Each structure stands twice: as structure tokens, then as C-alpha cells.
Structure 1
């Protein structure tokens, strides 16, 4: 069994993968100060509650965009799972894809892993939208090469900035509106409209511009925890792959062990 770890700016996702299937997943808030011992206590309890034997984990693979978190995850793998963690993008598990941008080394690990998984799962040209701390739009061509993309503030970041900068605005939950009206009659409804429908408009507008620039048929693949928030209110997504990054890590592990 494989333990795949996706360490993002907001959350660290731990997933157990067996025979290519994700059998369990858990997430914890990202904190670079969290020690391997703390991870181990939390993860061991969750594995036990789910009926998973820690000793069945034969390998660990990590993708991270938080360099300071990596060391403790490596210690977790060696101390509590008895194996050296493979780090996605580093020998011996390099990306194995063309990265056609000005600074290939600056591409986030999650975006590279998403590229690998999306190309393996879907043929043709792709736009991969990942809803995380930032919302990223990545272009993957028919050959599997990463061709560039867009980084936009995540919807939670946008809301946090609005509430922090405007003293009289309340903190609201991010949720789909109950109707499609874009004319709010009070402060809270106006905020919901601005955050939610404004974000939908951004997604649709950017995807439309990207498709025009690509100039070929494109499939749009969405992933990330908030992807389903927009699913029913826009037809811009062709498919949602909730676990794209974990799937990509499992594919990289398998490729290394064939």
C-alpha cells in the first residue's frame, strides 16, 4: 500500500492508495512547524479508526509547495513507516514531461503532478483548473507537455482580503447562492453575489480566452476541494477529478516501480 502526501499551502492531504485505488484520505491544516511525531500520532489514530494497518504501507511519495514542511514529512516516512519518501520532481522520480515555460524549475509540484495525471486520464488538449489556496489554470497539450497557465487568488483568499480591508463587512460562508439573481438587497447577499458569481465570471472568462488562444478543441478538467462548489452553476467544466494530485502521485510511484 502507498501513502501519497500532497502538501499544499492550506492543507496537507494524506491518502492511502492500493492497486491504483484511493482507499482512504485525510487532511490537516498546513503548518511547517508540525513535527513528524505530531503527524504520526494524528495519522496513526485515523488509520486505526479506518481499519488500516500502518505496517501495510510499503512506500511514501510526497509532493509539496511548502519547502519548510518537507523535512518533517521525510522524517515521518523514515521513522514511522520505515521507508525513505520519494519526492515528486526529484531523482529518481523526475517529472518525465516537457515543461515549455520560461522557468521550468519554478513550476509548483502540484501543478506538474496534475499535468501528469490529467494527460494520463484524458486525451487531447486540456485546461486543468485547481481550486486551492490559489486557483490555477494550466494548459496541457495533446502530447502531455505543460504549456503554461494562470495563477489567480483562491476564492477564500479573495474573501479574506475583502473582509480584512473593509471594516464594516462581515465574514460570510462561501456557498452557492440560493437563486441566480445578481442584484443583492442587503450587505450579505451582495457579498455572496460578488464573491460567488464574480468568481464564476472569472473562471468562465479566463477559460474562454485560453480556448481562443489554444485554437483547438480543449477539455476542461477541474480539481481541488472547492471545484464542486461551482459545478452546478456553470457548464465550463467537462469533468471533475477530485483526487487528481493524489492520482498523479500514485502514477509517478507506479512508473518508478515498473
Structure 2
């Protein structure tokens, strides 16, 4: 079995894949200083609960946008699974796609892995929207080349900025507003309308502009933790694929001869 690890700025996702099937997945808050031993105490117990023997993990692949976390994840693989972790984009785990931007080396591993997975799963030109700490929009052409994209603040970052820089605005939860009205009758409703519907308008506006620039029909694939939330509010998405990054890691591992 393959253990795929996607270390993002907010969460680290661990998933066990058997072939192309995801057997189990878990997430833990990202902490760059978390040691291999701390990961192991948590992860080995979860594997036990799922009935997956430690010895069944024969390969490990890591994708990270948090460089300081990589070393401890590699130590986790060595010490507790007796495996040398593959690192997405390095060595024989190259992305094998054309990264057609000014600075190819600056592309985040998660976005490159998403491009690999999206092209493998969906034909034609694509716009991949990943709702994470930041919200990213990535253009992948029909040949699988990464052509560039957009980085916007994630909705929770936007809310944090709003609350953190105002004296009297309360902390609210991000959810679909209960009323269809966009004229709020109290402070909390007005904040939710501004953040939620403002974000939907941003998504729809940026995708419209990207499609115009691409000049060909482009499917929109949404991924990330909040994708399902926004899917309720817009008909923009052709697919919502919560496991896109994990599936991309599985594809890269398979190409490298690991399963």
C-alpha cells in the first residue's frame, strides 16, 4: 500500500491508497516543528483503528508547501516504516508536465500535483480551483501543460483580516447564508453576506476572465476543503474532486513504479 502525505499550510493530509482506491484518510493541523515521533504516535494509532498493519505500507510519497515539515516527514518514513519517502517533483517523481510560466521552480507542489491529476482525469482545457489557505486558480491546457494561474486569499484568511482589523466585528462561521437576501438586517448577517457572496462573485468573475483569455471551452474542477460549500451557491463547477491532490500523488507514485 501507498501512504500519500500532502502537507499544506493549514493541514497535513495522510491517505492510504491500495492501487487507485483510497482506503483511509486523516488530517492533522500543520505544525512545521512537529517531530517524526509525534506524527507516529498519532498515525500508527489511526492505522490500527482502520485495521491496516504498519507493514502493509510499502511506499510513501510526500508533497509539501511547508519546507520545514519535509525533514520530519522523511524521518517518519525511515524510522517507523523503513521506507525512503518519495518527494513529489524530485528525482524519479518528476511531474512530467510542461510548466509554462516565467519561474517554473516557484510553482507550489500542491498545484503541480493537482495539474497532473486533473489532466489524467478530465479531458480538454481545465481551470482547477483549490480552496485552501489561499484560493488558487490554475490553467491547464488540453496537452496537460500548466499555463499559469491566480493566487487569492482564502476565505478564512479574508475573514481573519476583517475581524482582526476591526474593533467591534465578531467572529462568525463560514456557511451558506440562510436568507437569499443580500441586504443583511444585522451585523453578523451583513458580514456573512459580504464574505460569502463576495467570494462567490470573485470566483465567478475570475473564471469568466480566465475562460475569455484561454479562448477555448474550459472545464472547472474544484478541490479543497471548502469546495463543497461553494458548490451549493454556484453552477460554475463541472466537477468537485476533494481528493484531487491525493490522487495526483498516487499517479506520480505509480509512474515511479510504486504502489
* Distance in 1 separating the partners of 2:208 and 2:181: 23
- 1:100 offset after TM fit, Å? 0.3
Aligned to 1:62: 62
Aligned to 1:253: 253
- 1:104 offset after TM fit, Å? 0.1
Q: CA RMSD in A?
A: 0.7
Query: SS at 1:158's partner residue?
Result: helix
Q: Deviations over 1:16-57 (max 9, x none)?
A: 000111110000000011000000000011111111111100
Aligned to 1:154: 154
Query: SS at 2:232's partner residue?
Result: helix
Which has the larger displacement, 175-184 or 76-85?
175-184
Please report the TM-score for the alignment, with normalisation by the length of structure 1.
0.99
Matches within 5 A, 1:8-19: 8-19=8-19
* Distance in 2 separating the partners of 1:180 and 1:150: 29
* Distance in 1 separating the partners of 2:79 and 2:131: 33
Aligned to 2:129: 129
* Distance in 1 separating the partners of 2:79 and 2:176: 43
Aligned to 1:53: 53
* Distance in 1 separating the partners of 2:179 and 2:243: 29
Please report the TM-score for the alignment, with normalisation by the length of structure 2.
0.99
Aligned to 1:92: 92
Query: SS at 2:196's partner residue?
Result: helix
* Distance in 1 separating the partners of 2:35 and 2:86: 19
* Distance in 2 separating the partners of 1:125 and 1:9: 28
Count of residues in correspondence between the two structures: 258
Unaligned runs of 5+ in 2: none
* Distance in 1 separating the partners of 2:19 and 2:63: 20
- 1:179 offset after TM fit, Å? 2.3
Unaligned runs of 5+ in 1: none
Matches within 5 A, 1:148-187: 148-187=148-187
Query: SS at 1:105's partner residue?
Result: helix
* Distance in 1 separating the partners of 2:180 and 2:63: 38
Query: SS at 1:233's partner residue?
Result: coil
- 1:190 offset after TM fit, Å? 0.2
Aligned to 2:21: 21
